[in-house]
Structure 1
């Protein structure tokens, strides 16, 4: 057991290092790790091949959790591919940008809103591939600096990733394992995400309000934009929008105990393939099979860690740190998962922490049990912005290719500060949920401090106003300078 534990833990760490350093394709690295895990389980632990199949797809005991996750992911890939072909997301983005009428702060708010809306359906990579070039094009037309818009979009992509249970792969893995319904996830994680989104936009306006300048003569150009020039097939556009609306309605109305979300998504994807009349071979060729193989490899590696008891040991360790207090456990999972996913891909981190959270939740009430998983979903998704690693490197690459470079340091400062700010807000919300009076007291103190500083900066003695203005300017420059 000890030898197996050392080999499997070393294997997991090795796979993570290969992925982070990009020395090897992530799917190949994960599959190599899966093969090593196979030999350890079969020849050192005496497990049968049936155990490997269970690690890949799940068993009747866990309701084939991994298989359901894979079906849902592939189905959503097909739906998103067709919507992308129809120009649904470009259409929505340009419609909203035109609505800004070239007003700088309104354009920032709309850009932020578009990002969260689109990333709640699309994965992060597709969202930035669509939005960042579009943002740079608009900024060139309006003759304005695109950096504030690009940076805020890159950070808010992960907020959009926690709106729905289908918004990201960590969400799918968590909700399938914990049997959390679409509406349960939205009413808890999605609602918190919307609140934090509002606070984040206010923070961005505070940071960038002096940087957002659009010449008035250039803002008139937006009025000449014809959104239909970006749509190649109107019929497919309306079919795709209708399919997305039906999908979300069915997720809300149909309980998972009757029809699971993956089967609903599969049915919608097949109907959309048929009515779209797109070439099925071409659609299949565009499915991200690298991601599927990567997930299968991670399923085996993390399942092996769980099988030999390493994840249970980690759960017990976190329990010792947090004690029996449920709020402390939830906040600990939030921050630990966020910092782990800051430099490590959030899929393996989520897959490792799911059974850890499961072991921590034993003995808790059903509500607290699910809140631990909600906390994991937020931390695993949002922690990505603590460093400019992972998908954020793509943002900087796209910006550089379009001759609007964003530096590593520039992204790191804004991303790190913003994510800490977001995690603190979530922590206060959780405190309010579990200890209402303490939470209300914290919100009152925050409100009084902000109001007092605002009044002093506007109507206070000139000396105090100058000091506050100097501090605020220095803070802004530290982040965006």
Structure 2
């Protein structure tokens, strides 16, 4: 009975989110309330369990970075970067999109992709406003680039951290195995931008001329605060990259950075809390509880088990099946809980494969499927949800299907490129 309730609640909530009949935060919290009230999960499973509860690391990482970005916004640095990018692109919206996409992808490889989109999205909104173009295509392109670029390293995408911990893979392992295909994917993604977002690059000539006449240095109106923010951000980013050395979770680093910056900037609570996307944080809480109910009742484990059994002990079949299933399921239920659930099954599968190269390929197929599958729908990855929240607050909401129509195309292309890469590198040429 509890299994049926968990499935029914998730399906109904997902349909409400997809059709946007009610706000996604309301749908997620209502769904969480139902599974809690029905006894599908209790407070221990929902609030304290590492496997089935709210991922507080994700929630507090977002909260800390939102506070930092809120204070950073007061310096005028986002206006500076927006004007700089527009001028370097000669006012061409397409060139601006390509420039911001590349910046986002590279930054996402060395930060987590949520942090990257929190920093890039305000810049995007400003530059699009300056040029008089719709920011929605730019935001969608950037969040997809963040999910692609973040796949390159251990710290770039939260699922990679889970995989690295479970499989004992290092930062260099991810860089060597994931970065080559990510570079290829990014090149292809950049090339299809004019087609994917056709009709989105018509700027107002007068506004372009106005932008080209601006002096970006004049946008910085609080240099002292900018220096303080720069020092704190440098320390935060260093701690992110040195995660294995400092043994501090990204969420702890973000909260410490936010606390220090609030202290030294003497910012008032109403100023730095105004930038926090409360609806986004509450949506994540509800989503984690609903997905946790599916995990607790064994639904996700059963689905993943069926996929594992279907391989028949063939390593290549296992790799391709994991890649495809991961792309679909990660796009539907969020790639973080999916990878957390699938990792033990991949560990069991890889232990039964004699060739160590082919056994490790199972982990890379899981990472590629989950990371690229995060682009499939508007709720497939944490970065997607964050950007949708920012866009809504800025008065330019992105609908579930507006994102997902582009996401289906991008996910299909990236997975179709990843499949031959896995075959060639770990089977044909190994």
Task: Return the match for 1:268 from 251, 257, 260.
Answer: 257
1:342-357 to 2 correspondences below 5 Å: 344=332, 347=334, 350-352=336-338, 354-357=340-343
Aligned 1:30-179 pairs, distance under 5 A: 30-41=28-39, 49=42, 52-59=43-50, 66-102=55-91, 107=96, 109-116=98-105, 120=113, 122=115, 127-128=120-121, 130-132=123-125, 134-135=127-128, 137-138=130-131, 140=132, 151=137, 154-164=140-150, 171-172=157-158, 175-176=161-162, 179=165
- C-alpha displacement at 1:314, in angstroms? 0.4
- Does structure 2 conserve the Cα–Cα contact (< 8 Å) formed by 1:128 and 1:154? no
* Secondary structure of residue in 2 paired with 1:24: coil
Cα displacement (A) at 1:228: 2.4
What CA distance in whole angstroms lies between the structure 2 residues aligned with 1:221 and 1:39?
Answer: 57
Choose the corresponding residue for 1:294, options 277, 283, 287: 283
1:430 and 2:413 correspond: no
Using the alignment, how far apart are the partners of 1:274 and 1:182 within structure 2? 35
Q: CA deviation at 1:377?
A: 3.3
Q: For residues 109-128 of structure 1, what are the alpha-carbon distances to aligned partners after superposition, in whole Å with 9 as ceiling and x for unaligned?
A: 32432454677454758855
TM value normalised by structure 2: 0.74
Shift of residue 164, structure 1, vs aligned partner: 4.1
- Higher RCO, 1 or 2 (CA under 8 Å, sep at least 6)? 2
Residue 25, structure 1, aligned to residue 23, structure 2 = yes
Structure 1 residues 27-74: Cα deviation after superposition (integer angstroms, max 9, x where no partner)? 3322332233234447xxxx8x5xx32432325xx6999333333232
Q: State how far apart, in whole Å, the 1-side matches of 2:156 and 2:243 are.
A: 22
Q: How does 1:130-279 map to 2 (within 5 A)?
A: 130-132=123-125, 134-135=127-128, 137-138=130-131, 140=132, 151=137, 154-164=140-150, 171-172=157-158, 175-176=161-162, 179=165, 183=171, 187=175, 192-204=181-193, 223-255=212-244, 258-279=247-268
Measure the CA separation in 1 of the matches of 2:300 and 2:415. 25
| 2:374 corresponding residue in structure 1 | 381
Over 3 Å counting, the alpha-carbon distance change for 1:244 and 1:436 in structure 2 is farther
For the 8 Å contact 1:9–1:305, the answer to whether it is kept is: yes
Alpha-carbon RMSD across the aligned residues, in angstroms, is 4.7
Does structure 2 conserve the Cα–Cα contact (< 8 Å) formed by 1:196 and 1:422?
A: yes
> Using a 3 Å threshold, how does the CA distance of structure 1 residues 391 and 296 change in structure 2: closer, same or farther?
closer
Shift in Å, 1:305: 2.0
**Cα contact 2:346–2:363 (8 A) shared by 1:** no
Deviation at 1:235, TM superposition (A): 2.2
Structure 1 residue ranges without an equivalent (≥5): 141-145, 439-481
Count of matched residue positions in the alignment of Structure 1 and Structure 2 = 411
Note closer, same or farther for the CA distance 1:412–1:272 as it changes in structure 2 (3 Å cut). Answer: closer
Instruction: Output the CA distance in 2 between the equivalents of 1:12 and 1:209.
Output: 35
Alpha-carbon displacement from aligned partner over 1:6-42 (angstroms, at most 9, x marks no partner): 1211111112112222233333322332233234447
1:310 to partner: Cα distance: 1.5
- The secondary structure found in structure 1 opposite 2:221 is coil
> 2:347 corresponds to which residue?
361
The residue matched to 2:313 in structure 1 has which SS? Answer: coil
Taking structure 1 as the reference length, what is the TM-score of the superposition?
Answer: 0.68
Distance in 2, matches of 1:213 and 1:35, equals 45
Q: 1:298 to 1:390 in 2, by over 3 A?
A: closer
Q: Which has the higher Rg, Structure 1 or Structure 2? A: 1
What residue ranges of structure 2 are gaps of 5+ in the alignment?
Answer: 352-358
Asked whether the equivalents of residues 170 and 381 of structure 1 are also in contact (C-alpha less than 8 Å), the reply is: no
* SS of structure 2 residue aligned to 1:364: helix
Quote the Cα distance in structure 1 between the aligned partners of 2:330 and 2:179.
20
Deviation at 1:5, TM superposition (A): 1.4
Query: How big is the shift at 1:227?
Result: 0.7
Counterparts of 1:416 and 1:63, CA distance in 2: 28
Distance 1:113 1:78 in 2: 25
CA spacing shift, 1:129–1:23, aligned 2, 3 Å = farther
- C-alpha distance in structure 2 between counterparts of 1:276 and 1:431, whole Å: 52
